[in-house]
Structure 1
């Protein structure tokens, strides 16, 4: 409960939450999917993509660099994941490794991800593959990436190739990770590549992200194994509460942001 001179506003009292069922393992059904997730650029190390180029110009100037060196520590990291007793692991495919130059495929990189899938299954962990998690190959970034609808075909080509390689073993697929974050952070706040501040471009990128998702979904579903796979996108949900619920401007701002991010 929060109050001020203008009125009283109610907020959830987390002290009323009954945690006993959670602690006793009664809050979740037996088939509940427990999982962990990563992003290629944040763990693999040694990438060359749009983030690699953008990082020196960011506010912190920090580089992901070697990161967790997951590319060279696959087995050790899988042991850590297995020790968590999870049932699923979501990871992303680093497009810039797989297709570093337009139309040229790195078969060693493709084999690395295929081996990752095999090792997960050996441990009883279901892989969940993300096809786009914020990063772009430099050649595609220079074409405008999701700013141009005509560029979507290149990402669909990449997605189709990797689906063909992995779909005989991977049931769960994510097309795009947090499209609203990609658009807003890269084109409104300028804190993600390409570091721009343009509402016009944000709208165009957002529409193209949805076009890309829809086209990717239809394409993969039409391929071999498509009918038995589960395909969706990763949607982040943000809570936008007006600072004062009785203030029309605050309510308008909260509803506007809620509509942009959550609907």
Structure 2
């Protein structure tokens, strides 16, 4: 495929927990238990971010950290898809909520399958290719009570869930992502101890990561048995790695971080992928093992912004794995929409550069389609191409940067 080809996928992504919540999940239980703490930590956590005052009211409010019923996308998806169609999208990534499909072990909710079929039919009716994510961090409470992915014997539960969903939806979808950001989940939940289950054990994190590689590989085989035409991958979180000097410790720091963030998982799974899904938000500059980013431009969450650097990442990973690349997430928290057009412009230039360097690109899915619940940050970060007014019946408003993106999509299509 090529950026200017008719088959190139242009669109955006969501995770359906973030748009609609789900009570029977480990994340919902965690947010209820931690909302007060998260609200009390906002001022300290974001004190050095220039826009900290802009979001202080929400950041200090424990209710901000409760997903509830999200932005009511589940009720309004048809009207939401009207807006995406107006932006000339031809692709849309979403996720299946495991706890809704399988509320108890081995007990499947046929009504949820019917909903998913209607939902996917609406995506297609609006001219978009559905890209399905099977696991976007949230899991049924019953699964985590069994130990979740910490135990190898529990992999079968996810594999059985995946087999059920793919069997039911095989006529509705073609593109499947097994896992979203295995490395963010393992780091935040098992090393940093910031997310559920709030552990700080490198050994447990290693086991979880290993079990996710094994489960991915088996789900790939399951998918191919159900429908050989399925295109299967993951949504893998990565970055650009930059050396600030030639010190031995810096070389070691880069090598370690590339291995633990990319190669550990991808070396074990790339042969069970039909393409490589990539989530990219930042470049990291290393002095030894320490990240020292310039932070000349930062988004509302304080993340360093150098979007042009995605080119280097695409070239590096394509040269290593020789898989077509679908960018499954790429974006920024930008409440006043002052940087998103610049971000998109820089990113699109980087995609052109990467393609000129020989990278086979399948598509670009921006994060995010709509403002929604941003995990442990709650509702205050604004990643959406489409703004959501939480105080006014969740009204949607297409941001100027989204109009710019729509114009560029038409330009690439030659219309």
TM over 0.5: yes
Q: Deviations over 1:175-207 (max 9, x none)?
A: 111111111111111222211111000100000
- What CA RMSD, in Å, does the superposition of the two structures yield over aligned residues? 1.7
2:172 is equivalent to residue 194 of structure 1: no
Given that 2:179 and 2:234 are in contact with CA atoms closer than 8 Å, whether structure 1 keeps it comes out as yes
Given that 1:45 and 1:66 are in contact with CA atoms closer than 8 Å, whether structure 2 keeps it comes out as yes
> Which residue of 1 is the match for residue 113 of structure 2?
110
Q: Which aligned segments of 4 or more residues in structure 1 are displaced greater than 6 angstroms?
A: none
2:92 is equivalent to residue 89 of structure 1: yes
> Which residue of 1 is the match for residue 12 of structure 2?
36
> Which residue of 2 is the match for residue 262 of structure 1?
262
Rounded to whole Å, the distance in 2 between the matches of 1:196 and 1:82 is 42
Say if 1:93 and 1:188 are closer, same or farther in 2 by CA, change over 3 A.
Answer: same
> Which residue of 2 is the match for residue 179 of structure 1?
182
With 250-259 and 56-65 compared, the bigger mean Cα shift is at: 56-65
> Which residue of 2 is the match for residue 19 of structure 1?
none
> Which residue of 2 is the match for residue 241 of structure 1?
242
Rounded to whole Å, the distance in 1 between the matches of 2:7 and 2:105 is 42
SS of match in other structure, 2:12: strand
Gapped regions of structure 2 (runs ≥ 5): 40-64, 264-415
Gapped regions of structure 1 (runs ≥ 5): 1-25
Given that 1:45 and 1:71 are in contact with CA atoms closer than 8 Å, whether structure 2 keeps it comes out as no
Rounded to whole Å, the distance in 1 between the matches of 2:231 and 2:113 is 21
Say if 1:123 and 1:134 are closer, same or farther in 2 by CA, change over 3 A.
Answer: same
Identify which of 28, 31, 38 aligns with 1:60.
38
> Which residue of 2 is the match for residue 211 of structure 1?
214
- Deviation at residue 47 of structure 1 after TM alignment: 3.4
Given that 2:117 and 2:172 are in contact with CA atoms closer than 8 Å, whether structure 1 keeps it comes out as no
Q: Deviations over 1:2-25 (max 9, x none)?
A: xxxxxxxxxxxxxxxxxxxxxxxx
RCO higher in structure (CA 8 A, sep ≥6)? 2
Q: Deviations over 1:53-91 (max 9, x none)?
A: 111326525122222121222222222222221111111
- Deviation at residue 250 of structure 1 after TM alignment: 2.8
Rounded to whole Å, the distance in 1 between the matches of 2:245 and 2:66 is 41
With 135-144 and 100-109 compared, the bigger mean Cα shift is at: 100-109
- Deviation at residue 45 of structure 1 after TM alignment: 2.9
SS of match in other structure, 1:191: coil
2:172 is equivalent to residue 169 of structure 1: yes
2:151 is equivalent to residue 148 of structure 1: yes
Given that 1:240 and 1:255 are in contact with CA atoms closer than 8 Å, whether structure 2 keeps it comes out as no
Given that 2:22 and 2:99 are in contact with CA atoms closer than 8 Å, whether structure 1 keeps it comes out as no
Given that 1:183 and 1:205 are in contact with CA atoms closer than 8 Å, whether structure 2 keeps it comes out as yes
Rounded to whole Å, the distance in 1 between the matches of 2:246 and 2:129 is 47
Alignment: residue pair count: 235
